């Protein structure tokens, strides 16, 4: 037993204080066990000496302090910082708030959970009485009387030498128990079964059927309830993601967000569905079987004090490891998904630059992070499971050994020992299931903490709330606006200009001067760091963002079309419940000069387009469909961000004529472009340079400024055009 004491002391050095106290208790019990002089008067001295020699040899060769240090060395390396060069970032430590968050989600389904627990009690209670009844039946059929066959000398010698395992059972209680004939409820059932076995078969079938139905009901309720909880969690997370401002998506990559919604939610669902139901059943069964073990034989139950400190200590340590590794694993998987999503979305670029091997190497590096974490987790799990097997088989062997002694002393029957062994096996199996449940629960909590971070993140720009505008009457004004993207230098320092209502305003400037940023600020995708933007005299921060965006129509340089029909893409911005006829759809398509090519398709407006509309549409066709999508909403304010850059001269001319008609009807248009043909007819042109408004006026006024910025841009573009033509 000395090696077990050394094992306990070694564990105390590497675990928290609470675990050390438990293991100290285990070491004390081991000393008591080692000081017990005899287990039975029938044990041969030679046999004991041989066993001691074998035990000493095993201890010396395999379980010496040097060998134990080798066993613990891999676990110490698990938390070393120098083993892996790439360590995924740990989001945060698990908190009780993560468990509370799951409990809040489960609250609407409390009656389903209560019903599942009731079914659990019924099913497990019925099946757990069977081992006890089986033991009574064995005793009923046992006709041997060991005590009657002993001579008076043997009985006297037994009474002198027998000793209880912990010497805590008084001798008068032993004699009383020897002469006591048990006549409890289960004993009467066993005697009834012995004499009425055939007639009781149907009743047994009914009991088993009730238990099976209860177990089936428990599984169904717990599984479906867990899935409902996960569905609510996914919905809440996705709803909150959609409400985030653009700065959130600048900091969090789409691949990582998708990984959280998919893999993290799956882990939480697995932990709550199958694992949670099995875990509750294992907890219930473990407590009930432990109680039945104490009821069957308190003496044998005292052996459990040896293994309880080991189980409790390993639960604490192993749970800490699994929670740590689970969070790291999810970070590594998110990084892998992020890389794969980004590269596959731009696979054409990868192919053009012959970067397949480079991307494969990058993906392998991400996979190696997952391998490192998995290897450490497997090492810890292997050590813990191996320890469970050693303790489990050692406990079972001691149980049979000491139980045989109690039978020889008349303190235990064969039926009681059989029942106790069955309960011990059930308890051991369920304790192992609890370990699995605990590790999966820690993984689920680690994944849920990442989802809760997304769910609880508050957007800096609210999705709705504020003054609701129905029309644009006075125009838009920038007053001393400054802005910079997160972790970047300022783009604007102090810009001031006005967009008159019902006019066409053009924004020009060199690349990177912030032309598209003007559009982002007008749509309130971002907020200015300084200054303010006024819409009809109202600060944009006080205007309802959703209602304002409904008044705006936007066409970007690289418009996105979803995997749907052309008609569904055109109607994407139409509010739900609003009916739009085919005539209005065709009118919007005609204004955008897209009606002709749409009708050329066999299925017309019902033609499916792929992701980004790139499977069958050219860049110009995508831009024209996006323009139709903006025009069908009948916006009061239209933003065209290089919206005609992919159009040919004829298509651009037709689109420009349509925009002139819209401008005359009172709609305000903002054009961000380089082409002279697009901006030449604008009532106002704003020239940006070095973070401020350098020049402003109509086309002719700006061209009259000697050595002006706009004049140089036009001259350069004209020179390039003449050179290309030549």
Confidence of residue 533 (pLDDT cuts 50, 70, 90): very high
pLDDT of residue 342: 76
Q: What percent of the chain has pLDDT over 90?
A: 3
pLDDT exceeds 50 at position 293 = yes
Average pLDDT, whole number, for the chain? 72
- We find that the CATH architecture of domain 555-634 is 3-Layer(aba) Sandwich (3.40)
Mean pLDDT highest for which of 104-113, 421-430, 642-651? 104-113
Least confident of 100-109, 137-146, 350-359, 534-543: 137-146
Share of the chain above pLDDT 70, in %: 71
**Which DSSP string do the residues of 375-426 spell out, in sequence order?**
HHHHHHHHHHHHHHHHHHHHHHHHHHHHHHHHHHTTSS-HHHHHHHHHHHHH
Contacts of 201 (CB under 8 A, 6+ apart): none
Contact 335, 452 (CB under 8 A): no
Residue 666 has pLDDT above 50, yes or no: yes
Reported as half-sphere exposure (CB side, CA atoms, 13 A), residue 713 has a value of 25
Taking the C-alpha atoms of residue 240 and residue 252, their distance in angstroms, rounded to an integer, is 14
Pick the more confident residue, 677 or 160. Answer: 677
Assigned CATH for 111-456: 1.20.1560.10
Helical (H) or strand (E) element with 122: helix 110-128
Q: What is the strand order of the sheet 530-535 is part of?
A: 492-499, 476-483, 530-535, 538-539
Looking at per-residue confidence, does 175 or 141 come out higher?
Answer: 141
pLDDT value at position 112? Answer: 85
What is the CA angle 8-11-15, rounded to 5? 135
Q: What per-residue confidence (pLDDT) applies to 189? A: 56
- 154-168, 355-369, 509-523, 527-541: lowest mean pLDDT where? 154-168
From the list 499, 502, 625, 618, the residue with the least C-alpha distance to 565 is 625
Rounded to an integer, what distance in angstroms lies between the CA atom of residue 30 and that of residue 36? 10
H helix intervals, 409-514: 414-456
What per-residue confidence (pLDDT) applies to 98? 65
Which run of H or E residues covers position 240? Answer: helix 197-242
What pLDDT was estimated at residue 590?
Answer: 87
Smallest Cα–Cα separation from 41: which of 155, 178, 151, 145?
155
- Sort strands 504-509 and 668-672 into parallel, antiparallel or unpaired: parallel
At 303 the pLDDT is: 76
pLDDT band at residue 690 using 50, 70 and 90 as cut-offs: confident
DSSP secondary structure string, 517-528?
HHHHHHTTSS--
pLDDT at 407 over 70: yes
Q: Find the helix packing angle between 619-631 and 582-591, rounded to 10°.
A: 130
Q: Output the pLDDT for position 41.
A: 32
Mean pLDDT of 232-254: 84
What pLDDT score does 254 carry? 78
Q: Which two tokens stand for residue 198?
A: 């055939």
What's the pLDDT band for 478 if we cut at 50, 70, 90? very high
Which pLDDT band holds residue 181 (cuts at 50, 70, 90)? very low
- Burial track 537-552 (b if 16+ CB lie within 10 A, e otherwise): ebebeebbbeebbbbb
Between the CA of residue 615 and those of 293, 535, 564, what are the distances in Å?
Answer: 69, 40, 12
> Hey, is 38 helix, strand or coil?
coil
Q: Give residue 406's pLDDT.
A: 80
Which contiguous run of DSSP H or E holds residue 260?
none
The pLDDT value recorded for residue 96 is 59
For residues 385 and 39, the model is more confident at 385
**Residue 358 CB coordination number (10 Å):** 12
In this predicted structure, what is the pLDDT of residue 2?
37
Check whether 520 has a pLDDT greater than 80: yes
Nearest CA among 641, 690, 687, 673 for reference residue 494: 690
> How many other C-beta atoms lie within 10 A of the C-beta of residue 611?
11
- The size of the chain, in residues, is 726
| pLDDT for the residue numbered 116 | 83
Tell whether the model's pLDDT for residue 356 goes beyond 60. Answer: yes
CATH 3.30.70.270 holds for 462-551+637-647+667-726: no
Q: Comparing C-alpha atoms, which of 326, 383, 327, 446 is closest to residue 14?
A: 383
pLDDT over 50 at 721, yes or no: no
Could you read off the pLDDT of 432-473 as tens digits, one per residue?
777 777 777 777 777 787 788 888 888 888 888 888 888 888
> What are 175's two structure tokens?
């004699």
Minimal CA–CA distance to 11: which of 429, 379, 315?
Answer: 315
pLDDT tens profile 306-335? 777 777 677 667 767 776 777 787 778 878
CA-CA distance, 570 to 316, in Å (whole number)?
58
């Amino acid at each position: 037993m000395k090696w077990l004491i050394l094992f306990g002391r070694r564990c105390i050095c590497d675990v928290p204080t609470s675990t050390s106290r438990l293991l100290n208790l285990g070491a004390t019990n081991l000393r008591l066990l080692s000081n017990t002089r005899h287990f039975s008067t029938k044990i041969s001295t030679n046999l004991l000496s041989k066993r001691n020699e074998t035990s000493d040899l095993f201890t010396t060769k395999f379980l010496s302090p040097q060998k134990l240090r080798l066993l613990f060395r891999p676990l110490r390396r698990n938390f070393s910082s120098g083993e892996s060069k790439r360590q995924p970032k740990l989001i945060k430590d698990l908190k009780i708030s993560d468990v509370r968050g799951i409990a809040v989600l489960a609250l609407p389904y409390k009656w389903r959970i209560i019903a599942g627990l009731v079914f659990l009690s019924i099913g497990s209670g019925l099946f757990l009485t069977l081992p006890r009844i089986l033991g009574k039946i064995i005793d009923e059929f046992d006709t041997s009387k060991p005590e009657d066959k002993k001579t008076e000398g043997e009985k006297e010698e037994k009474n002198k030498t027998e000793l209880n395992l912990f010497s805590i059972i008084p001798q008068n209680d032993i004699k009383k128990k020897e002469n006591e004939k048990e006549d409890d409820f289960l004993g009467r059932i066993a005697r009834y079964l012995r004499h009425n076995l055939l007639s009781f078969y149907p009743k047994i079938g009914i009991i088993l059927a009730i238990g099976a139905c209860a177990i089936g009901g428990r599984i169904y309720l717990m599984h479906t309830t867990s899935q409902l909880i996960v569905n609510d969690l996914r919905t809440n997370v996705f709803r909150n993601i959609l409400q985030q401002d653009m700065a959130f998506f600048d900091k969090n990559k789409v691949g990582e967000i998708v990984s959280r919604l998919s893999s993290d939610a799956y882990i939480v669902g697995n932990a709550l569905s199958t694992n949670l139901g099995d875990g509750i059943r294992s907890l219930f069964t473990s407590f009930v079987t432990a109680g039945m073990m104490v009821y069957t034989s308190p003496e044998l139950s005292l052996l459990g004090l040896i293994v309880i400190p080991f189980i409790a200590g390993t639960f604490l340590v192993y749970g800490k490891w699994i929670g740590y590794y689970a969070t790291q694993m999810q970070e590594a998987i998110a990084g892998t998904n992020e890389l794969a999503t980004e590269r596959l979305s731009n696979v054409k670029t990868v192919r053009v630059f012959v970067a397949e091997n480079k991307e494969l190497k990058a993906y392998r590096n991400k996979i190696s992070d997952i391998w490192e974490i998995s290897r450490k987790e497997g090492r810890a799990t292997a050590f813990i499971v191996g320890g469970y097997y050693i303790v489990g088989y050692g406990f079972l062997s001691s149980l049979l050994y000491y139980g045989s002694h109690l039978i020889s002393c008349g303190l235990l029957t064969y039926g009681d020992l059989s029942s106790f062994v069955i309960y011990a096996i059930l308890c051991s199996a369920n304790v192992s299931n609890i370990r699995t449940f605990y590790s999966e629960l820690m993984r689920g909590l680690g994944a849920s903490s990442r989802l809760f971070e997304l769910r609880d993140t508050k957007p800096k720009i609210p999705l709705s709330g504020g003054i609701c505008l129905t029309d644009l009457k006075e125009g838009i004004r920038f007053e001393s606006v400054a802005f910079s993207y997160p972790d970047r230098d300022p783009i604007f320092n102090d810009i001031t200009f006005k967009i008159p209502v019902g006019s066409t305003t053009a924004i020009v400037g060199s690349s990177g001067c912030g032309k598209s940023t003007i559009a982002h600020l007008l749509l309130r995708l971002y907020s200015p760091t300084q200054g303010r933007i006024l819409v009809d005299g109202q600060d944009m921060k006080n205007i309802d963002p959703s209602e304002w965006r409904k008044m705006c129509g936007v066409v970007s340089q690289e418009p996105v079309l979803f995997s749907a029909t052309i008609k569904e893409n055109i109607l994407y911005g139409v509010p739900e419940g609003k009916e739009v006829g085919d005539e209005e759809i065709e009118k919007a398509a005609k204004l955008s000069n897209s009606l002709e090519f749409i009708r050329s398709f066999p299925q017309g407006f019902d033609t499916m387009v792929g992701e980004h509309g790139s499977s069958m549409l050219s860049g110009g066709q995508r831009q024209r469909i996006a323009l139709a999508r903006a025009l069908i909403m009948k916006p009061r304010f239209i933003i065209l961000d290089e919206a005609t850059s992919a159009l040919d001269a004829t298509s651009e001319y037709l689109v420009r004529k349509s925009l002139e008609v819209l401008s005359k009807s009172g709609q305000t248009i903002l054009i961000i472009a380089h082409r002279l043909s697009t901006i030449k007819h604008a009532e106002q042109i704003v020239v940006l340079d070095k973070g401020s408004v350098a020049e402003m006026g109509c086309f002719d006024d700006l061209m009259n400024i000697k050595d002006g910025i706009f004049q140089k841009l036009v001259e350069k573009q004209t020179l390039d055009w003449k050179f290309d033509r030549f």
